Structure 1
Amino acid sequence: MTAAMVEPGRESGGRTWEYLLQSWRELDVPEGWRAEIDRGQIHLVPPPHRHHNGIAARVQRALYGVLPPHWEIYQTLGIHIAALDKLYMPDLVVVSSEVVEEVEAEVSDPVDAAEALLVVEITSKGNAEDDRKKKLWAHARAPVPVYLLIDRFDAHGPTATLFTEPQNGAYRHADRVAFGDELVLPKPFGLKLDTRHFPH
């Protein structure tokens, strides 16, 4: 759920993205909340449910078993979809540690979403449609090669869907399983993700 929005004022002088990014850098966001930029606004997103965090922890643990040492998993990393001037903070992002470490220590700029190897979004009741549609499309445009959508609120029951092969702003391939089944992440991950113990 979007809790608050900050819109650019007239002082932005037509440089909406630069103004929003500077405002995003300077925000004092309450602990556990996230700030994202979408549709020319800064949105504050409240902390998720504990089941949401439980799923993120299980996925992160599974990924650590297959990642090479120079890849890392980040939970509060902003990613910039440059083609759309959007900034999201996914639940999990896998990216080379070099990409994150090359930024100056004093700067909290997002990384280019095209540098992400995997993005994971876990739906909350208030933002499920955003994760299913808006963020799916944005990550395909970036392009992020692998987008994992874990949907606790799917109308047909909790599901996990793996989107791969982004092309022309859309993912060409999708594998969807119900909670309880295995979902196979492609190379370079080569991971069989067991969803049996995902809380919902």
Structure 2
Amino acid sequence: MSVAPFPDWLRPPVGGWTADDLDRLPDLPPHTELIDGNLVFVSPQTAFHMRTLRLLERALESAAPPGWEVWREMTVRLDKRNRPEPDLAVLAESAYTGPKQTFFLPEDALLAVEVVSEESEERDRRAKPAKYAAAGIRYFWRVESNEGTPVVYTYERDPATNSYVPTGIFHDRLTIDHPFPMDVKLS
């Protein structure tokens, strides 16, 4: 029995992969992200993750004012070595350039949302929020599971420090005024 060789893209080039490489590498698994020049492969999603995404996506679509769209699982090119894929993002309608588009730019993003899973805790709690804030994305939500019920942690970017500051923790209802008014039952 012979073992198939590893694909070339498993061996990063000197200096790591670039944001443009995500569009050129053949046969990458779906939802591959680029963090600090490294390819990150997503594990299978849980029912909690998918249900929470659906709930928040519908709520954001209903509340978003004209000129804004909700996108699910599209990468945002933060810089040459970082192209993460927020679970949800609220983006300017004008950011859409056509059906072959594979990423958005941070200046078009108003909100990035990450639903935390076991394998993504470090990235979703620390690495990605720091990168989103440094790139100028004004709002960030981190969603955690409390025994199967979503808990939403909301943040706003402080332009003086280029980092997020907490604006709320929501257990049963997500009731906010920014980035736009929303009232969503979470439980």
Q: Where on the TM-score scale, by shorter chain, does this alignment land: which range?
A: 0.7 to 0.9
Counterpart Cα distance in 1 of 2:112 and 2:20: 24
Is residue 71 of structure 1 aligned with residue 51 of structure 2?
no
Decide whether the 8 Å contact of 1:123 with 1:153 is kept in 2. no
User: What TM-score comes out, normalization by structure 1 length?
Assistant: 0.76
Decide whether the 8 Å contact of 2:19 with 2:81 is kept in 1. no
Counterpart Cα distance in 2 of 1:43 and 1:173: 27
Q: Please, which of 68, 72, 83 is the counterpart of residue 87 of structure 1?
A: 83
Which residue identity does 1:144 align to in structure 2? I
Deviation at 1:22, TM superposition (A): 3.3
Residues 18-67 of structure 1, C-alpha deviation per residue, up to 9 Å, x if partnerless?
x523321024344xx31111122112213311220100100111112211
Distance 1:186 1:142, change over 3 A: farther
Greater than 6 Å deviation, 4+ residue runs:
none
**Is the partner of 1:171 in helix, strand or coil?**
strand
What runs of 5+ residues in structure 2 fail to find an aligned partner?
1-8
Decide whether the 8 Å contact of 1:182 with 1:193 is kept in 2. yes
**Is the partner of 1:20 in helix, strand or coil?**
coil
User: What TM-score comes out, normalization by structure 2 length?
Assistant: 0.81
Distance 1:106 1:165, change over 3 A: closer
Is residue 96 of structure 1 aligned with residue 92 of structure 2?
yes
Counterpart Cα distance in 1 of 2:47 and 2:28: 20
Deviation at 1:8, TM superposition (A): 3.3
Aligned residue for 1:160?
Answer: 152
Decide whether the 8 Å contact of 2:138 with 2:157 is kept in 1. yes
Task: Give RMSD over aligned pairs.
Answer: 2.6
Decide whether the 8 Å contact of 1:138 with 1:169 is kept in 2. no
Decide whether the 8 Å contact of 2:33 with 2:84 is kept in 1. yes
What runs of 5+ residues in structure 1 fail to find an aligned partner?
none
Identical residues among aligned pairs (%): 22
